[in-house]
Chains A and B, each alone.
Chain A
Amino acid sequence: MSATDSPAGMPAPDNAGRRGPMAEVFFSLLRSGTFLTGLGIVLFWIACALFGEHFVPYDPLADDIINALAPPSAEHWFGTDQIGRDVFSRVIVGSRDILTVAPLATLLATVAGTALGLFTGYFRGIVDDIISRILEAFMAIPVVIVALLAIVALGTSKTTVIVVIGLSFAPIIARTVRSAVLAERELDYVAAAQLRHESAFHTMFVEILPNVIPPILVETTVRLGYAIFAVATLSFMGFGIQPPSPDWGLSISSNYGMIGGGFWWTVLFDALAIASLVIGVNLAADGVHGAFND
């Protein structure tokens, strides 16, 4: 006697084994080259942020004016910047701030966006109309403008960056969650919950939320890539992470005037580092998306 059902002819992939759907996704991720490559890149930068300072050849903050603007050599693999700091050491440790600020911002966006999406998708009607229009208006304002206003109001700090990026991304996540909730809302288990006089809170968070986790996870990983990019942009513009942090965006910002003089190494390696992290996150996001939509 078997409790599982094999539907006519076509074996449904999710009925194949005895694993749950989440375990199925997990194993499918382990088989995904895209995901593993992305994950490898991200883990590399996380390792650098955590342990980089113990194995870099120089103190990333120590200046050495005599050796300023030295080109890449055996001694300084990536050269030195205008006050003689070792670029290699700075690139390796430079992921530290961005890797705390961007994920925290994404987390904030996910939590706020999920709550808003559940709310608008569940109540629909006038509540949805009003909140959705406000969110759309919010999405139309560029992040940089919001950041500028927030910094004028709150002063520069990592917290400001997290709040600004988190709140700018929340409407986007809210929109994804809302559309998933609207589809779930039509299913009979929601009517069954109403026929038990369940509270709206219970229906939203206990009944519906577990079923919309997959699109939320996908959207979150995609947003993380954008958040990294946004943090780097804000640092570059001087609104984000402040000196003397070896942050990549900040380094590019303080050195990009040197490119004209031929001192390309002061900017190139930081730029490549940002690009590689964004690509890594996006590859991982692609893998997650594929695993949920197979």
Chain B
Amino acid sequence: MTEKAANALELSDLSVAYRVGGRNRAVLRNLNLAIGQGEAYGLVGESGCGKSTVALSVVRYLPRNGSITGGAISLDGQDVMKLDGEALRRARAESVSMVYQDPGKALNPSLRIGRQLTEIFELGGVMGEAAAERAIAMLNRVRISDPSSVMQRYPHQLSGGMQQRVAIAMALANDPTMLILDEPTTGLDATVEAEVLDLIALLRQELSASILFISHNLAVVSKMCDRVGVLYAGMLVEEGSTQDVFNDPRHPYTVALLRCLPRGGQRKDQGRLDTIPGFLPGIGADIKGCAFADRCALATDRCRSELPPLYDLGGRLSRCHYHEQAQALPRATPSDVAAAPKAKSEPVLHVEGLNKTYASHGHALRAVKDVSVSLRPGETLGLVGESGSGKTTFARLLLGLVPPDDGGSIRLEGKALAPRLESRTDDQIKAMQIVFQNPDSALNRSHSIRHLISRALKRLAGLRGAALQARLDELVRSVRLTDRHLAVKPRQLSGGLKQRVAIARAFAGEPRIVVCDEPTSALDVSVQAAILNLLADLQSKEDVSYIFISHDLGVVRYLSDQIAVLYLGRIMELGPSEAVFSGPHHPYTEALLSAVPKLDQTETARIRLDGEIPSATHPPPGCVFQTRCPRKIGAICETQEPPLAEAEPGHSIRCHIPYAELARLQKPAMQAEPARRSAKGDRSAGLNPPC
């Protein structure tokens, strides 16, 4: 390859269409975008905006019904559109690499890691031992300790984070000029996500590759990228340096997106989240004027008729006629505060010493160990922890979907609940319902929305005929669906609407407690905000209690009054939301909190968790967290399991370190100066140096 072009990637007037139902439908519309050498460029937007289509177009890897209908793609000065088969194959092999969202699917499950890695070098003509050596060097480079043993393993024997590191190693094997990361951390736990992001940041210092970073997570993009582009309906609506765009947005869409996120510890009683009304125009929609005009409160007739150009605002661009007023966008949802829950002393739910043991290959797997919590009416208990911490199992035990071990007790409004669902009374059943994570799985795809909700009303509320119809109308309105939605099947609704149906169904029997198992994790931020508002509204209206499971700490904080932090099935910390989040907290909570990328970039000294969550069949002796604990104090942690001791009234921590000492240790971290963390160096201790 000759000397480098000025830009690693240049898209000019790129238009892409998908052929659906015999018609070409535009997905990208005259997209202009340039990524400089060595630059990290973030592309954000809601699902359906065309982010992934951009990634696929760059290597001309669109699905069969997709075609590039206009414009040019230039990769390191090379016109991708003009490449013939062989040249295109070479460009894909040598100059561009992609890392996808799900590493489990990107790796071949039936080949060893070593085979998959060496294959890349063999394509480049390096054979045998030499290829193996280079593969090991690549694994070293992505900070995998003991690479030769990893080479011998199959993908399923690696954790999600390790798999993604291997996928990154494969992507970097040919020293590409352009690295495309399409939602590389979306399916991962916060702690693992932090690890992968650290790795990418570190690699950026070592490699010359330019990065196109695609994510729906604004905080992740703000942490990783120099410049960011906001995509809406296949058009770039705003572009500029990361700090400019996120701190001083100049397009109403960016403004609205940023407002949807619960930020800075916002809580449900401090005001509702803002939302974006309406929907993204469907693909191929005929757009006159500004694509966002229908959803924008600032829009005028000019916006609806005249397509705004990308106004150059000095180093940044905005596709808004009124870019200087963008931040004056009025709220779409009034911020009026939901009434604070009335403090009642009688708990609606009291769980004492709940255990669940599974048998796994002859070993006891303690999925939930000695969990005791209680919940008052109108209160939310947030459950947090990495995957495998027992959050979902605990929820299923409460609901009776899984019978707990003998010994524990679940009391609902003072009465003991039978361990099994079948032995519970109809009243007890309807008092506790669930909103599942994935509405596609939770709503029977063969039935209409009307059937789904009426069946719940019939069974749970015991309604028939006209009474059922009246309650159905009321319920449908309360989750802000319309009659129009009743006749259709779930597949005809968007993710957010489906989740509303699931919520309506859970509320059919006027429950006392609703378990929400990651109800917004599959949704876009604007839809998430609407669902969170809805849950908060329903709570204040019906005085219902929630058990809210989420991996998104911002979301948990927004909705929860109490927080339980779980690790390997044990409660590590339990207390009022504010106390748990503001600290002093358990070292595990501290690590979880510091793993979350923050939008305002005021990152404090990071607590890193090394190693992986231990197997629940062989939990570490002593404190289960000792193998990863950054604040381990010594032998006592390895031999003696600390009790869940009350540190302050209502706030318990399972740690040998005294509360006052935790407060002293964590103080500097809590008050540290806002500083952008340097990505270099601080992780390499004890790891193999890069090749």
A residues whose Cβ falls under 8 Å from a Cβ of B: 1-11, 14-18, 20-21, 187-189, 191-192, 194-198, 207, 210-211
Contacts and interface: CB of A to CB of B under 8 A. Distances in A.
Contact of A1 (B51, B56, B278): B278
Given A3-B492, A189-B444, A211-B445, A11 B50 contact: no
Interface stretch (B161-169, B429-437, B593-601, B606-614): B429-437
Contacts of B51: 8-9
Nearest to B442: A188
Contact of A17 (B21, B48, B53): B21
Number of chain B interface residues as a range: 35 or more
A124 to B, nearest CB: 14
B443 A16 contact: no
Nearest first, the 8 A-B pairs at minimum CB distance are A210-B446, A5-B494, A9-B53, A188-B442, A196-B459, A9-B52, A188-B436, A189-B444
Contacts of B441: 187-189
B283 interface: yes
B463 to A, nearest CB: 13
B54 to A, nearest CB: 8
B52 A211 contact: no
Contacts of B489: 20
Contacts of B63: 10-11
Contacts of B493: 3-5
Interface in B53-79: 53, 56, 63, 65
Q: DSSP class of A's interface residues: helix, strand, loop or mixed? A: loop
13 contacts: A3-B494, A3-B497, A15-B491, A20-B489, A187-B441, A188-B436, A188-B438, A191-B434, A192-B442, A195-B399, A195-B433, A196-B460, A197-B421
Given A194-B401, A195-B399, A5 B484 contact: no
Contacts of A194: 401, 421
Contacts of B484: 3
Interface in B1-49: 18, 20-21, 25, 27, 47-49
B27 A3 contact: no
Given A3-B484, A207-B444, A196 B52 contact: no
Contacts of B401: 191, 194-195
B505 interface: yes
B434 A195 contact: yes
B429 A195 contact: yes
A11 B445 contact: no
Contacts of A14: 491
A211 B445 CA distance: 7
Contacts of A192: 434, 436, 442, 505
Given A3-B497, A189-B443, A195-B434, A10 B426 contact: no
Contact of B49 (A8, A20, A187, A196): A8
B364 interface: no
B259 interface: no
A188 B433 CA distance: 12
Contacts of A15: 491
A1 B442 contact: no
A187 B485 CA distance: 23
B583 interface: no
B589 to A, nearest CB: 29
Interface string B514-553: 0000000000000000000000000000000000000000
Contacts, number: 98
A6 B283 contact: yes
B27 A9 contact: yes
Contacts of B47: 7-8
A128 to B, nearest CB: 19
B456 interface: yes
Interface in B382-438: 399, 401, 421, 426, 429, 433-434, 436, 438
Nearest to B495: A5
Contacts of A195: 399, 401, 421, 429, 433-434
B488 interface: yes
A197 B429 contact: yes
B447 to A, nearest CB: 8
A107 B52 CA distance: 47
B604 to A, nearest CB: 33
Contacts of B497: 3
B277 to A, nearest CB: 10
Nearest to B456: A196
Contacts of B50: 8-9
A49 B51 CA distance: 59
Given A14-B491, A195-B399, A1 B443 contact: no
Contacts of B446: 210-211
B282 interface: yes
Indicate the member of A2, A17, A192 with the most B CB atoms within 10 Å. Answer: A192
A6 B445 CA distance: 18
Nearest to A18: B492
B460 to A, nearest CB: 6
Contacts of B283: 6, 11
A3 B488 contact: yes
Contacts of A6: 48, 282-283
Nearest to B459: A196
A191 B399 CA distance: 10
A8 B186 CA distance: 14
B316 interface: no
Contacts of A5: 48, 493-495
Nearest to B47: A8
Interface string B103-135: 000000000000000000000000000000000
Interface in B335-372: none
Nearest to B443: A189
Contacts of B426: 197
A100 B450 CA distance: 41
B442 A4 contact: no
Interface in B254-293: 278-279, 281-283
Nearest to B524: A8
Given A5-B494, A14-B491, A192-B505, A198 B282 contact: no
Given A8-B53, A9-B50, A20-B489, 16 more contacts: A1-B278, A3-B497, A4-B492, A5-B495, A7-B47, A8-B52, A11-B20, A11-B25, A14-B491, A15-B491, A16-B20, A191-B401, A192-B436, A196-B456, A197-B421, A197-B459
Indicate the member of B281, B283, B438, B444 with the most A CB atoms within 10 Å. Answer: B444
A1 B27 CA distance: 17
Contacts of A2: 279, 281-282
Contacts of A9: 27, 48, 50-53, 56
Nearest to A211: B446
Nearest to A191: B401
A14 B492 CA distance: 10
A197 B495 CA distance: 27
A207 B65 CA distance: 35
B471 interface: no
Indicate the member of B49, B56, B282 with the most A CB atoms within 10 Å. Answer: B282
B455 interface: yes
Contacts of B495: 5
B79 to A, nearest CB: 23
Given A1-B279, A11-B65, A210-B446, A198 B48 contact: no
Nearest to B432: A195
Contacts of A198: 459
Nearest to B51: A8
B279 A16 contact: no
Contacts of B49: 8
Nearest to B490: A189
B685 to A, nearest CB: 39
B221 to A, nearest CB: 16
Given A3-B488, A6-B282, A189-B442, A16 B56 contact: no
Indicate the member of B51, B494, B497 with the most A CB atoms within 10 Å. Answer: B494
